[in-house]
Structure 1
Amino acid sequence: MDILLESRAFYPSVGGLEMMAQELGKHWQKRGHEVRVMTVTPLGEQSELTKLDVLRFPTLSEWMRHLRWADVFFQNGVSLRSIAYPLVTKCPIVFRHPNILASDATVNIRNELKRLATNCGANVASCGPVAESIPGPTVTIPNTFRPVFEQPDAEKAHRDGLLFVGRLVSVKGADLAIEALRQLHERGVNTTLMICGGGPERKSLQEQVQQADLDEYVTFNGFTGPEELAEQYRSAELLLVPSRFEPFGIVALEAIASRCPVVAAQTGGLPEAVGDCGLLVPPDDAAALANAIEQALRPGVRQNLRTDMPAHVDRHRTGRIATDYLHVLRQAAQSRE
């Protein structure tokens, strides 16, 4: 097949959306399909990818030419800016949905237009809660993770302390992780917390740490690249994902692939991302988070949580996920014949 993949956020930007586009595109190309990527992410000072054909900031004529070439158009997240192009050229569309398309009392015109657009093609949701929000025909295929995090030998690695990975914004709940740590210290559980990620709330989180007298127990590592992050997963006793809301939670998969158990909030797609490889707690509940951490720090509990990790990781490997997507793409492409 000739696959035109649009991902407005793409390499060298770093995130789950970008990772999924890059990993899926590379795997499809390995399988003998031709993949071309459309994006509006600037390359900056980075070198262009060599394993994918990438067109940045395409013109209207380039859009039309590539859509006439393609057997199927794969849009990595619904983009209203470009949805008209495949409709004009009658190129079959497959939408990938990483987020919930909520419909509530607060009218969001853009969101409602995206919901309407889902009826123009096939839809793939990352998890059950996302699938339930999509009006159009939908199948569920979970997310994958970068191969660098595949570390089955890490089960025997020396581990110490807690790990938080994510952007430092309220919805990710780093403040809940710090508060849970404070409560643990009150109980005499003097573990540590490594925070990997940057964002606008870093200063307020540092102030929270100081007020709790936890300076020597909390480390802010800032933005952490995949290779260094793999080492963090390898050395942590637990990954904390205390998000107030999370559409899926790829960091949970990354940790599990590195044999690091997870304590996460029971919200959005996190239960599916964690599976039986971690403990779940109510969102926005630091006390429940502290209790679950204390429980999961017991060696026997962590070992039990690792039992299901090989099967869980296997279900989310790129090869399997990319193949599942290919089935959807083929069905869509056949509709053009």
Structure 2
Amino acid sequence: MDDYINTALTQKHSYDWQLKILMLTWEYPPHVVGGLSRHVYGLSAQLAQLGHEVHVITAGNGGLTSNEKVNGVHVHRIIPLNNQDDNFLSWIAGLNLAMSYKGVKIAEDIKFDIVHAHDWLVGTSAVTLKEEMSIPLLTTIHATEHGRNIGIHTDMQQFIHNKEKKLIMESDQIIVCSTYMREELLTNFRLAEKKLEIVPNGIEPSTVEVNSNEIYPFIKHRKYVFSVGRMVKEKGFETIIEAAQLAKENQRDIYFVIAGKGPMLERYRKMVSERQLDYFIAFIGYVSDEQRNALLVNSEIAVFPSLYEPFGIVALEAMILGKPTIVSDTGGLKGIIMDKQTGLLMNPGDAESLLSNIDFLSQNLDKAKEIGETGRRVVKSLYGWKRVASQTVKVMEETMLNKRVNVNDNPR
């Protein structure tokens, strides 16, 4: 065993290495599609704060600065080849070609220690850069096509599933955000358990500087239950619509405010209109992080009724503000919430279960306050970005060490 490995063995749990990390992600603020963007932003900024050199390659649009340093992170925005192509898969192919080229150019001046990829969308470039630089590849899998669709049913889904499989197989180590995701990958991709590490998503305390009543006057004199998320089927918002329907039929004064954008937003708004539920539920569309936090602070209860949720950072965003939070008893959400201690668990897709939990909190205000405060303390303790980034560094160091050991054990 050479001197490099001896040194690594003594350092691998001390976080003394100053790593040079190349991170690949298709979305990065201010380009935000879902939770992946916020995760990579929080992680990369904290890694830089810990003293590591972090370079993020991500998609640009021509209107954003192509190269800049933000919170200590070197951000490189590239324009995908086929940028104007309406075919998403062609666009992704062009994104990966441009990412690969950019990564090789940056590596002319910087000797990177590891590539860290986020989901299949950057998988082709991640594998290419791993091979070009002869360095290990660490991949974080945030969600899977199989999980989102409860199986693989179409050619498009099969294509994405195959891309996920190739990236997972080519990666030296995989990070997932929850025990639920670990089991999902073990079941659907049949990889070795030792190749998987669990590192949760992170969050920092939020500040609220605006009043939601001023932004949305229609809620000024009403108590409301709040939810936010991407408008897609797996987030379970139809369950809230069904709960609003039951509230109307039973003449109960419950008002749901739901924020977020996505392909099903207009469909949900149409369902609300057709059922004449405007007094009971409102889909308000896109909100900024600041507006989301203001809406959370002024709400009575937060609800996240997902049918599929690998982790559920939106729940942490509510809990860290001290809100009593109801989540589906599924996926990563059930790993975050201890029922009636840090939040409440509802049956997925069950509107009556949701209403029952709302009733419990509404009728037990002291308990609701206690649950909110306990949730806030637990989230602050377990899910801070410094802790998450330190865990990620440990995985990176061990991935590098294992790669070097394997090279020495199997010389060409």
Q: TM class by shorter-chain length?
A: 0.7 to 0.9
Q: Which residue of 1 aligns with 2:224?
A: 161
Q: Which amino acid aligns with 2:395?
A: V
Deviations 1:251-270 (A, max 9, x none): 11100011112212222211
Question: Aligned partners of 1:195, 1:105: CA distance in 2, in Å?
Answer: 29
> Is the Cα–Cα contact under 8 Å of residues 4 and 66 in structure 1 kept in the other structure?
no
Q: Which residue of 2 aligns with 1:154?
A: none
SS in 2 for 1:321: helix
* Structure 1 position 305 matched with structure 2 position 305: no
Which residues in structure 2 correspond to 1:98-247 (within 5 Å)? Answer: 98-100=142-144, 102=146, 108-119=158-169, 120-134=171-185, 135-136=191-192, 137-148=195-206, 160-247=223-310
Question: Aligned partners of 2:135, 2:313: CA distance in 1, in Å?
Answer: 31
Work out which of the residue numbers 45, 51, 54 in structure 1 matches 2:75.
54
Give how far 1:160 is off: 2.8
Q: Which amino acid aligns with 2:314?
A: V
Work out which of the residue numbers 309, 314, 321 in structure 1 matches 2:388.
321
Work out which of the residue numbers 133, 152, 156 in structure 2 matches 1:89.
133
Q: Which residue of 1 aligns with 2:83?
A: none
Question: Aligned partners of 1:190, 1:182: CA distance in 2, in Å?
Answer: 12
Question: Aligned partners of 2:161, 2:248: CA distance in 1, in Å?
Answer: 44
Residues 270 and 59 (structure 1), Cα distance of their counterparts in 2 relative to 1, 3 Å cut: closer
SS in 2 for 1:80: helix
> Is the Cα–Cα contact under 8 Å of residues 205 and 380 in structure 2 kept in the other structure?
no
Structure 1 stretch 61-70 or stretch 191-200: which is displaced more? 61-70
Residues 319 and 150 (structure 1), Cα distance of their counterparts in 2 relative to 1, 3 Å cut: farther
Q: Which residue of 2 aligns with 1:2?
A: 20
Unaligned runs of 5+ residues in structure 2 are 1-18, 79-97, 186-190, 210-220, 405-412
Structure 1 stretch 5-14 or stretch 16-25: which is displaced more? 5-14
SS in 2 for 1:129: helix
Residues 105 and 171 (structure 1), Cα distance of their counterparts in 2 relative to 1, 3 Å cut: closer
Deviations 1:41-94 (A, max 9, x none): 436257955322112224645423545611111112243321222034221111
Q: Which residue of 2 aligns with 1:330?
A: 397
Give how far 1:214 is off: 2.8
Residues 214 and 29 (structure 1), Cα distance of their counterparts in 2 relative to 1, 3 Å cut: same
Which residues in structure 2 correspond to 1:277-292 (within 5 Å)? Answer: 277-292=342-357
SS in 1 for 2:327: strand
> Is the Cα–Cα contact under 8 Å of residues 117 and 123 in structure 2 kept in the other structure?
no
> Is the Cα–Cα contact under 8 Å of residues 247 and 270 in structure 1 kept in the other structure?
yes
Q: Which residue of 2 aligns with 1:64?
A: 104
Structure 1 stretch 30-39 or stretch 96-105: which is displaced more? 96-105
Identity %: 23
Q: Which residue of 1 aligns with 2:30?
A: 12
Question: Aligned partners of 2:152, 2:263: CA distance in 1, in Å?
Answer: 29
Question: Aligned partners of 2:247, 2:380: CA distance in 1, in Å?
Answer: 30
Work out which of the residue numbers 295, 302, 319 in structure 2 matches 1:256.
319
Higher radius of gyration, 1 or 2: 2
Question: Aligned partners of 1:248, 1:294: CA distance in 2, in Å?
Answer: 26
- Higher helix fraction (1 or 2): 2
> Is the Cα–Cα contact under 8 Å of residues 172 and 403 in structure 2 kept in the other structure?
no
Deviations 1:147-193 (A, max 9, x none): 43699xxxxxx993101201222222222112212323444430211
> Is the Cα–Cα contact under 8 Å of residues 115 and 129 in structure 2 kept in the other structure?
no
SS in 1 for 2:282: strand
Q: Which amino acid aligns with 2:104?
A: M
Give how far 1:219 is off: 3.0
Structure 1 stretch 114-123 or stretch 191-200: which is displaced more? 114-123
Question: Aligned partners of 1:204, 1:232: CA distance in 2, in Å?
Answer: 23
Q: Which amino acid aligns with 1:99?
A: A
Which residues in structure 2 correspond to 1:3-42 (within 5 Å)? Answer: 3-14=21-32, 15-42=34-61
Residues 198 and 118 (structure 1), Cα distance of their counterparts in 2 relative to 1, 3 Å cut: closer
Question: Aligned partners of 1:159, 1:314: CA distance in 2, in Å?
Answer: 33
Residues 23 and 129 (structure 1), Cα distance of their counterparts in 2 relative to 1, 3 Å cut: same
Q: Which amino acid aligns with 2:181?
A: V
> Is the Cα–Cα contact under 8 Å of residues 159 and 234 in structure 1 kept in the other structure?
no
Question: Aligned partners of 1:306, 1:262: CA distance in 2, in Å?
Answer: 7
Residues 13 and 183 (structure 1), Cα distance of their counterparts in 2 relative to 1, 3 Å cut: same
Q: Which amino acid aligns with 2:165?
A: R
Residues 110 and 161 (structure 1), Cα distance of their counterparts in 2 relative to 1, 3 Å cut: closer
Give how far 1:201 is off: 2.8
Question: Aligned partners of 1:150, 1:334: CA distance in 2, in Å?
Answer: 43
Structure 1 stretch 270-279 or stretch 95-104: which is displaced more? 95-104
Give how far 1:17 is off: 0.6
Structure 1 stretch 114-123 or stretch 286-295: which is displaced more? 114-123
Q: Number of residues paired by the alignment?
A: 331
Deviations 1:257-310 (A, max 9, x none): 111122122222111233442221222221222222222223134134225310
Structure 1 stretch 34-43 or stretch 300-309: which is displaced more? 300-309
Question: Aligned partners of 1:210, 1:252: CA distance in 2, in Å?
Answer: 28
> Is the Cα–Cα contact under 8 Å of residues 322 and 373 in structure 2 kept in the other structure?
no
Residues 140 and 150 (structure 1), Cα distance of their counterparts in 2 relative to 1, 3 Å cut: farther
Give how far 1:100 is off: 3.6
Unaligned runs of 5+ residues in structure 1 are 152-157
Q: Which residue of 2 aligns with 1:155?
A: none
Q: Which amino acid aligns with 2:294?
A: E
SS in 1 for 2:206: helix
Question: Aligned partners of 1:97, 1:150: CA distance in 2, in Å?
Answer: 31
